[in-house]
Structure 1
């Protein structure tokens, strides 16, 4: 029993199992939200390079954000999350940064300090990509870099991929019904260049490179933040044995995933397909057996009656 073409679990050789004989190292994004300044340079660069149409200027009133979320015309989205954090004096008398979690008494009348959690969200390029698994036309495919890309000229607009994504990333464009999402600038990768969003990020919040190297770098960054007193710093989507087999785009967060609009424990929606097909097959066999008996029994009873005459 080999590990090829699994729908869940650890996948050690992703691109090769997808049919690429000599693939390069798998690449991805590491987004360090602790240094994101919300400039939206990544959004602009993504739109400009990929010629993505505008998606309106409808502010929600809940944030300084007009793009609101990922979609067919928003492949990078910078979230602005406003939080009140208590202002607590540090042991040396200085004001503790609002970045640090601290205990507070709501009855003391202190309103706390405002902090913004800013995070550039993107398609996760899952190891086990349900959108790819359910696509009936082959429009979605796994590249030699381990990324997942939509071929817009093959997409028939069926929309199966939309509910399949555990992150709600992929979306159909209302104008023609076809699905679109981040390609991790597949054309740039083929030319040896980094994606446009990572190239444009002024603080290196978005880092691009071989996925294994990024995971090591991210672990060191978390240790650094913990040593500085930022106890809430955590990684999201980096584990190769999580519900989607690990993400090709993972994040360093400063609060729980739910605060950023991310599912806390994402699971690939096609994980149970083999079991479901087994049950469906067993049910079909039972139905076929019942039908066969229902047709054969009257004939057998008729023969028995003839024999007793």
Structure 2
């Protein structure tokens, strides 16, 4: 069902909207980039559990990022952003001092970045990116085979066995998440480990994350936890901390996978104002229908007038 453009300003529980009765709480990811250490354990765990093929060694020349983006063969992508340190900023509690964030002793002193004592001229921004499992998912709207479906947990999954490789979902995604596999042609993306969460387990990436940067749970609880984390960082002198994708009033109705960022979304390769790409289709179809009726009426009038 295409989204009602007037409903995009309000919260929506997508599983009941999709027809699930007695649906469990909506589940999702909260990724706290302030404690991501770039270990790529999430990437490896995702590949191992979901049997995602490797992409080979790809030296992109982009810092230590060897995957580059979310693709059919990379359902998790850990971005490494190296930038000059903005004036007046410092590493958030948990980045240089991961043990501090986890409530353990042994936090490193401020200024020790990447193991280089006293280096304060640059900083790393790291983020494990993933499918956003949008509330209003354009990929679902355009799929002609029903390969994409909404689960009872509110997530979006591709059934690759009935995907015909048309690629409509790829152009419809406002985040550029979905991709076609070379030599295969079908669409692939994160399933939020539908098989694992259906059995009551944590998704592989969150299970493997050593710093709890990737957190999984009921979406409402994650949003509360994320707001508290941002407030804590602001109190500790990290005013640039902000949330991305958490707002049900945004252009996609809020994401099932949202993030705490330490800079503007564009720095991480995220669109600043994502909008469900199919939001105007109902209006377009209505106008097309009216135009078709007008043309049909004009044709009938011309035929009647010409025969009289």
TM-score (structure 1 length as normaliser): 0.87
Q: Which residue of 1 aligns with 2:207?
A: 199
> How do 1:26-37 and structure 2 match up within 5 A?
26-37=26-37
Q: Pick closer, same or farther for the CA change 1:13–1:87 going to 2, 3 Å.
A: closer
SS in 2 for 1:153: helix
Match of 1:91 in 2: none
- Counterparts of residues 120-159 of structure 1 (less than 5 Å): 120-159=128-167
Aligned length: 281
Alignment of 1:272-287 (within 5 A): 272-287=280-295
Give 5+ residue unaligned stretches, structure 1.
89-95, 101-110, 301-309
Instruction: Identify the residue that residue 90 of structure 2 maps to in structure 1.
Output: 97
Distance in 1 separating the partners of 2:148 and 2:289 = 27
Assess if the C-alpha contact under 8 Å between 2:12 and 2:253 holds in 1: no
State whether residues 13 and 154 of structure 2, in contact with CA within 8 Å, keep that contact through their aligned partners in structure 1.
no
The separation in 1 between residues aligned to 2:153 and 2:242, in whole angstroms, is: 26
Q: Deviations over 1:2-54 (max 9, x none)?
A: x9964651343321121111111000000000000000000000000000001
| Residue 231 (structure 1) aligns with | 239
User: CA-to-partner distance for each residue in 1:190-223, whole Å, 9 max, x for gaps?
Assistant: 1100100000000000000000000000000000
Does the aligned pair in 1 maintain the 2:3–2:136 contact within 8 Å? Answer: no
1:58 aligns to 2:58 (yes or no): yes
Over residues 218-251 of structure 1, what are the superposed CA-to-partner deviations in whole Å (9 max), with x where a residue is unaligned? 0000000111111110000000111000000000
TM norm structure 2: 0.87
Q: Which string of whole-angstrom CA distances, capped at 9 and with x for unpartnered residues, describes residues 258-280 of structure 1?
A: 00000000000111111011111
Q: 1:86 to 1:130 in 2, by over 3 A?
A: closer
Aligned counterparts of 1:73 and 1:4: Cα–Cα separation in 2: 29
Counterparts of 2:37 and 2:4 in 1: how far apart (Å)? 39
- Residue 56 of structure 1 contacts residue 67 of structure 1 at CA under 8 Å; is this kept in 2? no
When the two chains are superposed, the root-mean-square deviation of aligned CA atoms in Å is: 1.9
CA offsets per residue over residues 132-155 of structure 1, 9 Å max, x none? 111010000000000000001010
Residue in structure 2 matched with residue 107 of structure 1 by the alignment? none
1:39 has 2:32 as partner: no
Q: Compared with structure 1, are the counterparts of its residues 50 and 168 closer, same or farther at alpha carbon in structure 2 (3 Å cutoff)?
A: same
Which residues in structure 2 correspond to 1:166-185 (within 5 Å)?
166-185=174-193
Query: What secondary structure sits across from 2:166 in the alignment?
Result: coil
Tell whether 2:69 aligns with 1:69. Answer: yes
Q: Could you tell me which residue of structure 1 aligns to residue 169 of structure 2?
A: 161
* Aligned partners of 1:15 and 1:146 also within 8 Å: yes
Asked if the contact 1:132–1:141 (Cα under 8 Å) also holds between the matched residues in 2, the reply is yes
| Structure 2 counterpart SS, 1:289 | helix
| SS of equivalent to 1:251 | strand
Q: Report SS of the residue matched to 1:156.
A: coil
Moved more, 53-62 or 35-44: 53-62
